[in-house]
């Protein structure tokens, strides 16, 4: 496997939409994230200043193909990102629906197959569909990134049962929730379900205090993972007294 998650790297953070480069810098440091996502379009529009900031952060860069709607767009963008950032990693997005920004599963699998054959290590932004997941793994992907909800919606985990099924089916595959997370509690919920990481951007970038919010998400993601590892209690239909009956005082 090309990447093993560690407790310090379960939070992946995006770099778009922050009030200033300084706040972005502070937020990334507060998050403890070891991996940050960068759009090639962002790099192209801001040039040298943004590249300097990335160098100062000394984080692992995960370029993405944000805004691509066709296989050709996504593959070309990925190839340009590899040259620019000197990394085989690519977060693959091939958008199929303009309103929901849902990935196009057919184009996604095709682009993933092309890129994996070309030596890329692909992080595909996908849905919780098990068949699409299987096809992406067959194409050469080693990690899957199902959405929680629509990008930037902040709705959290819209399809809990579908995500649980995905986690159970792909037991040995790293799964990262990508998109739709709007609050630390939602990120903790994903980690309590056994997901390996959470990738988000808007919930931190658009917060009243992005630096403080980044720290809150870091704590929630860590806490959720620790809870999963410790073993969460099972839900019950009936009450179950925590105090034993034996030893209670007898009155006559």
Helix (H, G, I), strand (E, B) or coil at 117: helix
Any idea which residue has 């296989």 for tokens? Answer: 71
pLDDT (0 to 100) of residue 246 = 62
Q: Are 39 and 67 in contact (CB under 8 A)?
A: yes
Distance CA 175, CA 1 (A): 13
User: Which residue is catalytic, options 59, 91, 171, 206?
Assistant: 91
168 is in an annotated binding site: no
Any idea which residue has 């980690």 for tokens? Answer: 191
What does the DSSP assignment read for 13-80?
Answer: EE-SS-S-HHHHHHHHHHHT-SEEEEEHHHHHHHHHHHHHHHHHHT-EEEEE-TT--SHHHHHHHHHH
Can 91 be counted among the known catalytic residues? yes
Q: Look up residue 128 and give its two tokens.
A: 């919780």
64 is in an annotated binding site: no
Q: Look up residue 145 and give its two tokens.
A: 């990134």
The pTM (predicted TM-score) of the whole model is 0.89
29 is in an annotated binding site: no
Closest alpha carbon to 184 in 157, 213, 212:
213
Which three-class secondary structure string do you get for 139-165? Answer: HCCCCEEECCCCCCCCCCCCCHHHHHH
Domains of the chain, with CATH numbers?
11-230 (3.20.20.70)
180 is in an annotated binding site: yes
Residuewise pLDDT in 10s, the chain (252 residues): 555 656 567 999 999 999 999 999 999 999 999 999 998 764 554 556 777 887 788 889 999 999 999 999 999 999 999 999 999 999 999 999 888 889 999 999 999 999 999 999 999 999 999 999 999 999 999 999 999 999 999 999 999 999 999 999 999 999 999 999 999 999 999 999 999 999 999 999 999 999 999 999 999 999 999 999 999 888 888 887 776 666 666 666
């Amino acid at each position: 496997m090309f990447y093993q998650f560690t407790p310090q790297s379960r939070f992946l953070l995006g770099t778009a939409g922050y009030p200033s480069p300084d706040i972005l810098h502070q937020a990334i440091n507060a998050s403890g994230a070891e991996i940050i996502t960068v759009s090639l379009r962002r790099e192209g529009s801001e040039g040298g200043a943004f590249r300097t900031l990335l160098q100062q952060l000394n984080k692992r860069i995960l370029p993405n193909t944000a805004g691509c709607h066709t296989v050709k767009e996504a593959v070309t963008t990925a190839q340009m990102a590899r040259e620019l950032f000197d990394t085989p990693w690519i977060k693959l997005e091939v958008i199929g629906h303009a309103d929901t920004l849902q990935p196009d599963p057919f184009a996604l699998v095709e682009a993933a197959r092309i890129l994996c054959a070309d030596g890329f290590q692909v992080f595909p932004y996908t849905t919780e569909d098990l068949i699409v997941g299987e096809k992406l793994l067959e194409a050469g992907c080693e990690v899957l990134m199902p959405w929680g909800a629509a990008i930037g919606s902040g709705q959290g985990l819209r399809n809990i049962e579908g995500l649980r099924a995905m986690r159970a089916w792909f037991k040995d595959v790293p799964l990262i929730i990508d998109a739709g997370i709007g609050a630390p509690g939602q990120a903790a919920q994903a980690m309590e379900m056994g997901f390996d990481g959470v990738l988000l951007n808007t919930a931190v970038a658009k917060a009243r205090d992005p630096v403080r919010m980044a720290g809150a998400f870091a704590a929630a993601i860590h806490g959720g993972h620790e809870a999963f590892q410790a073993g969460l209690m099972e839900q019950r239909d009936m009450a179950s007294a925590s105090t034993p009956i034996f030893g209670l005082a007898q009155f006559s």
